[in-house]
Structure 1
C-alpha cells in the first residue's frame, strides 16, 4: 500500500478484540522493524512482542498508558535500546514504521506513554543496560455496536503553520512549496502522530535542504516525535520522487544561521 494512503488512514485504536494475532502477521510486523535502517543505523535496538496482554494490562495500570490510562490489548510491542546519540529518535522512527506495517495488515495500534520505566522493565523482564524507549498496544480492533469512541477529534496544524522559508519565522507559502515539489510531502507530514497531539516539530526550507526542529522539552516523547516525523517526511518524499536520508550530524552554529530560537532544538536536515 502507498505510504500516502496509509498516512491518511492511520488512527489510534483503543478497543481490541481478545483474540491473539496470527503468527504470520506478527512476523511481518516484527520484520519491518528488524530490517529498518532507522535514523541512526538501527543499531543497539531490541524489539519485544508481548503475548500475555491481559496480565501486562493489570500489572501496568497507572504506570503506563494513553493519556494516563492503560489500554487493554492482547499484545504489546516494545523497543528497548542502548543509549547513543539520537537513540530516542531512532526508536520513534522504527516503532512508527511497525505501526504503519500493522495498519497495512489490518491491525490496530496505540502509542502508550511510559510513566514508570522501572515498573515496565520488571513486568516485561527487560534486563541489562537497555532503556525502554517505545511502547505500543497492538491487536485486532474491536468494533462492537456498544463501543463508542467519545474522545475528541484530533486537529492538525496547516501546512503553512509548520514550515518556514529560509529562516525561522519567515512565512512559507503553499505556492513556494509546490514549486519545490514539497506541498504533498508536507501535507502527509502534518498527519504524523505526536504526544498530546502537540505537533512539536517545525521545518525550515532552504535552497538545497529542509531542516527539522523540535521543542526542547524534558519529555522523551518529544524526541520520539522527531523520529516519527522524520519517517513521515522520508516516506512521503520518496513517494514524490525526492530521494534522500536525514543527516543528523549538523555541526556547530547552524541554529544561529537560521535564527532558530533557544526553545527549539535542531534535529537534522534532509537534502533536496
Structure 2
C-alpha cells in the first residue's frame, strides 16, 4: 500500500469486535515484533510486548489507563517497554510502535495508541510481567466494529484538498476542514529557528508535497509539537515545549511518517538522533533527516 494512502485513510479505532485476531494475522504480527525487538529494540533500549489476553489488560487499567482514565477495550494489546525514561529511547520506541500501526493497518485491522501517564506502579508491573523498565504507552488492536458511513475513511480519494481526522490516542476530535491543523509555513523554518520557509523555497527544493503530507502526522491531543528546520541537503526535526515528555513520542511518530513519505517520493530517508545541548526552553532539536 502506498504510504500516502495509509496517511490519509488510517484513523484510530476505539471499538473492536469481541473476537481475537485470526491465527495467520497474529503470526505475522508476532514475527514482526520479534524482528523489531531483536534487530533494533535490544540495541536502542526498548521492546514491544505482545499481550494476547486483552481482558486481563483492560481489567488492570480500567479507570486509570488511557486519556483521562478512559480505557479502550480490545482483544489484544502491545506494550511499549523502555529501559528508562530517555528522549532517544522514547523517539526510537515511538517510531517502531507506529510502524506496528501500519503493519496492523496493512492486515485490515484497527489499532489505537493508549497513554498510561496515570497508572500506578503496581499496574505497570503487571504489564511488564516481571521485566524491568517502564511502560508509558500501549497499542490496542483487533478487528474494528464496522460502521456503515458514506464518509468511510477507506474510500477516501487522495488530493491536496483531503480532509484529515488523525489522532493516535483515541481522543475524539472531529474536524470538518483542514483549518484545525497548522499550515506548512507554520511548521517549517529555513536554515534557522523562527525563519519561516517561503512556499517558493520549498517548491524550488522539491519538498512541498512531502511537507504538506508530513504535517498531518498524528500527535497527542492534535497539538502538532514538531517543527522542521530546512538546511542544505537535510532537515532537523525539533519539538516545541521541550519539557513536555509526550512531545518526544510524537517526534518518533513524525519521523516514521517522514521516512515513509520520503521513501515513497524518492527522497533520501536516512535519519539519526540529535543530542541538543543548546539549553533552549522554546524548542529542542531531536533528529537530523537527509533530504
How far off is 1:5 after superposition?
0.9
Report the alpha carbon displacement of residue 128 of structure 1 after superposing the two structures with TM: 3.7
The SS at the match of 1:103 is: helix
Write the deviation string for residues 138-164 of structure 1: whole angstroms up to 9, x where unpaired.
11111257xxx9933154222221101
Counterparts of 1:269 and 1:141, CA distance in 2:
36
Match of 2:94 in 1: 92
Distance 2:122 2:222 in 1: 26
Say yes or no: does 1:233 pair with 2:264: no
- Report the equivalent of 1:3: 3
Number of residue pairs the alignment of both structures matches: 264
Change over 3 Å in CA distance of 1:85–1:161 after alignment to 2: closer
- Note if 1:61 corresponds to 2:82: no
Query: Using the alignment, how far apart are the partners of 2:5 and 2:135 within structure 1?
Result: 30
> Is the 2:63–2:71 contact (alpha carbons within 8 Å) kept by the matching residues of 1?
yes
| Structure 1 residues 25-54: Cα deviation after superposition (integer angstroms, max 9, x where no partner) | 123234344434998885333222212212
Verify: 1:152 aligned to 2:153, yes or no. Answer: no
Q: Tell me, yes or no, if the aligned pair for 2:47 and 2:93 is still in contact at 8 Å.
A: no
Q: Does 1:194 align with 2:195?
A: no
Equivalent residues of 1:208, 1:271 under 8 A apart: yes
Instruction: Give, in angstroms, the shift of residue 86 of structure 1.
Output: 0.5
Which residue is 1:75 aligned to?
Answer: 76
Structure 2 match to 1:246: 271
Partner of 2:281: 262
TM-score when normalising by structure 2: 0.81
Q: Distance in 2 between matches of 1:138 and 1:252?
A: 38
After superposing the two structures, state which structure 1 stretch, 161-170 or 82-91, moved more.
Answer: 82-91
* Residues 68/47 of structure 1: CA separation in 2 closer, same or farther (3 Å cut): same
Q: Any unmatched runs of 5+ in structure 1?
A: 256-260
Shift of residue 120 of structure 1?
Answer: 3.4
**Which residue of 2 is the match for residue 20 of structure 1?**
20
